[in-house]
Amino acid sequence: MKFDRNSTTTDVLNDIDLSGKTALVTGASTGLGAETARALAACGADVTLVARSAAKLANVAREIQSETGRLPETAALELDKPATIRTFAADWLSRHEQLDILINNAGIMATPLTRNAEGWESQFATNHLGHFLLTNLLSDAIKAAGKARIVNLSSAGHQYSTVDLDDPNYQNRDYEALQAYGQSKTANIWFTLELARRWAERGVTSFAVHPGGIQTELGRNLEPEMVKQFEQLIEDRPDIWKTIPQGAATSCWAATSPDLNGKTGLYLEDCHISEPGDGDAIDGGYAPYAYDADGAKQLWELSNDLLGTAF
């Protein structure tokens, strides 16, 4: 069945049975993550909700149980704090043998310049490095699933910037919030490409997703001037905005659709495989550098260097 930008999570998951499947969703305390987790649970999946706030996660878990009859697990971690990711992964792996669906949904957008304890720029640290570490720490369970799928939330905003492999953390160049956001979203695509190359033999497939324009808490850290720009965009282009169930649909489609069997390493939007873009993030499509396989390999190596890992 063909779906489009108006399709919802209910539409794309119709007739999908996830009984016996295990799923994990980051950024699941609100917005797209909460809806994605709810939709997967409604199809029978055992879902783990991960986010910063334990209190918010508990509320979402209760809502999901009330609607689906299934109580998700919850765990708090902070993607820009590697120690919290390591602690979570060790605990989760002690109780689970396989992970069928990993939705790396969490993210921050166009924040003022901040750095974590390691000195990494916050958007690169949260949107890419945290998910790189989490995914690799869970790799044994992912590979044990047989035909696992990994979904990395990117954005049409990747068109704002490629990845500066020489200075990803803005130590030697002026910081621009949207450029840094774009860099982190391109990193999500490149991570997807390299996962596809490295893990294909274990039956693992990976997809990068642009969910579309959705008014969620993602913009909570925007500078006031940027808030005005987005408010004007909302007013000028009401046609480009989606509801949360529409925005989460492509993630759910990427995680479950039989149409994607045998495919991997692709950038998806509006519940289909994306076409090349024209350079305008609002119009969608992918940038010329999105499928840079060499860049993807180098980013993997850079991520290992920054984290002190050898994945």
Positions annotated as catalytic residues are 181
Tell me, what DSSP letter sits at residue 102?
A: E
SS3 content of the chain, % helix, strand, coil (to 5): 50, 15, 40
Residue 202: Cβ-neighbour burial (10 angstroms; 0-12, 13-18, 19+): middle
Q: At what angle do helices 130-137 and 177-199 cross, to 10 degrees?
A: 20
The beta strand positions in the chain, using DSSP E, are 22-26, 46-51, 73-76, 101-104, 149-153, 205-210, 213-214, 241-242, 266-269, 272-273
Q: How far apart are CA 215 and CA 106, in angstroms?
A: 15
Query: Measured on CA atoms in the order 15, 45, 138, 96, is the torsion positive or negative?
Result: negative
Helix (H) or strand (E) holding 46: strand 46-51
- Residue 245's contacts (CB-CB under 8 Å, 6 or more residues apart) are 8, 9, 10, 35, 39
**Sign of the torsion angle spanned by Cα atoms 56, 59, 13, 215:** negative
Please answer whether residues 113 and 121 qualify as being in contact, where contact means their C-beta atoms are separated by less than 8 angstroms. yes
Q: Are 85 and 132 in contact (CB under 8 A)?
A: no
